[in-house]
Structure 1
Amino acid sequence: MSRAGSDVILERMMSLHPKLIDLTLDRVWRLLDALGDPHLRLPPVIHIAGTNGKGSTLAMIRAGLEGAGLRCHAYTSPHLARFHERIRLAGDLIEEDALSAVLDECWDANGGVPITYFEITTCAAILAFSRVAADYTLLEVGLGGRLDATNVIETPAMTVITPVSLDHQQFLGDTLGAIAGEKAGILKRGVPCVVSRQTDEGLAAIETRADRLGAPLLVQGQHWHSWEERGRLVYQDETGLLDLPRPVLPGAHQFDNAGAALAVLRHLGMGEVACDAAVTRAVWPARMQRLKTGPLVDAAPEVELWLDGGHNPSAGEAISAHLATLPKRDTYLICGMLNTKDVAGYMRPMAGVAKALMAVSIPGEANTLPAETTAEAARKAGLSADTAPDVRTALRQISLAAPQARVLICGSLYLAGNVLKENG
């Protein structure tokens, strides 16, 4: 094919497979082989799976390693505003020319045979990583673990499993044990794995696979501990105790995510400079992000505006817990969700902290839940709810009724991405 911009190539790649998700590694192995096995030429890999917190944990690991003067590749998904966000080469977002080149190369090597969008773009990221020097490669699992396209690294330096909860049951199973077993598919023989706080059922599934592979586990509550004390983060493992600033990423759940990141850094031999950077320098948009500038902020200048992309019951619990800690204000939600999510489970924790909800559909998303369906789920959860045609209209209506309100735009990373684009 002729050389084209990344947006054009990515659009073409969407047509290579009839399904967005079709979990198997066969197509990935085939394309990597055609590309000359770039996955065998990566800097040491830290592979991260989990239901909630894996992106935040990766961001803190990256901040820590970079704070120690090291260079990191990073692969995350989904993106919020532009695909380029998914691929960081030695710390910097991939540039357009480099992205177009690896996408073009993967398209040609694939030869038009079926492969999912995530699979071929993951191969493109791996190809890009293999050609740029760095000290570590951080890979975030897209979905599950065992059959995720990122699970092609035979011997990573470390693996991480953040908290596992019910999500994507149609692909991963309908019990916590089954889902945790799929996440534990990233464990490799003899490779240490940091395990965040889990249910007993989830931890048992992880331990079963670890025992089979001889993979040492570093489990929160057993091998390491992290907690808040007097507004600071205290971390302790067999090496000793760290007294660190509160994580810059907001929310009580970030103390656990920071703990997992610190467990990784300590195991890699990083010192206090790296550990301090992990909690003070991490950046992870659309996770309880305060929006302070931009067109949406200008449209309702007295409103305190927040954005979060969490979308499952555990995320709803974490968000509501954080909202409850903020200075008292009437809190309103602008919410849009996908029809693949547990909407009722997400809404239930919100009823205790939000005064009302305005539901919207997510622009450009085929799987968006209609606004009225989201509103009805909110009403069943005990929230006063109405609908609006878009976020800007919802924000305007809330600001007219309650100009001093706190407004959280929430329910989906896809909605968050649209908001960040609209807000510049």
Structure 2
Amino acid sequence: MTDQTDGGRRLSTQEAARVLGVKPATVYAYVSRGQLTSRRDPAGRGSSFDAAEVADLARRSRREAAAPAGGELSVRTALTLIEPDRYYLRGVDAVALASRYRYEEVAEWLWTGKLAPGAVFTAPPEALAAAGRAVAALPEHSGPIDRLRVAVAAAAVADPLRFDLSEEAVLGSARCLIPTLVGALPEKAAPSWPGDGRISRRLWSRLTAREPDPDALAVLDLALSLLVDHDLAASTLAVRVAASARAHPYAAVSAGLGALEGPLHGAAGRLAHRMLREVLEQGSAAPVVAEYLRAGRRVPGLGHRLYRAEDPRATALFARLEELPHAAPALTAAREVATTMARQRDLHPNVDLALAVLTVSSDMPPESGETIFAISRTAGWIAHALEEYQAPPLRMRPTGHYEGPTPPQPLP
């Protein structure tokens, strides 16, 4: 209820939330960030807020969403910070975090800002069965993203709580969705031992018939942890647009998978895999690199617009891959490619090249890098959707600059 004091009209928490277009919990988040001031009601009816201050914050929020500084879309986020030589997840060095904790634990950190030691994600039988049937009905030549998109849709239909956008419900869906996606993928070989339920162990048998060893599984788990989020990549932006329209988390993940289908975002790992195969078959990187350049194609796995030197994710993966004896040939091939290109251009290996070393050396198919990326990034997409659900709805609405014929034109 509104209240009139000497300082001007005041709003209750619910009223302030309506003006700002957010949930009441977000109003208190604004207070903790210093963006709003609250006053405790002496009668014990909760907190109240200055109406003018709330209106000013609402205007600022609308301006920032419609016309961010620099003419580019800019989104406030507390998830990932990228610097010229490293990146952080909720303020913690991401490489150090991924090197110490399992993928599930890193995902929980990204979602909640809290560690959950020993976290295990379990797929509900109904969702897993629905996703498995949908994926099995696809043509045999279907790619991994095709399978994952169908699996997400099937899992959504099996979840009657998908429209509940509360944090608790979204996190519950996320912890079920990721193992459902993995479980819906066809197995290359039945595992000879059950393992401990980790996503990396379950995913391995979907990527290769090769029996894993603990070190190889550790590298796959590291890759999943390193790829969990990387700020506003194209797929992540697509997720936030969907979440801004209050699409449920399954639909938001579907939007991310749709963007990942593009050749400029999701296909880099596949291209790097094939290039390394060519280098290993020819015994030298020089002719392979020369052929790429002759055809006017970019050499995959090199360079990153956000890092001055080597992608820190690649550095971490290369270091762990050195511990795998069977990865030595592919690792040597990757470094030879980088050395060959360095003679003319200042390009450094990125995570796609390191991921290709893992997939080639583990006898995985070329598209495996896409699968690893999509499964891992699902956790990041959920984190961004959660943030967007707390922001004013439909704020991802840039203004179009019309360049067509000057109206009115004659009716055709």
Alignment TM class, shorter chain as reference: under 0.3
The answer to which structure has the higher strand fraction is 1
Q: Which has the higher contact order (CA 8 A, sep 6+)?
A: 2
With normalisation by structure 2, the TM-score equals 0.25
Structure with greater proportional helix content = 2
* Greater Rg over alpha carbons, structure: 2
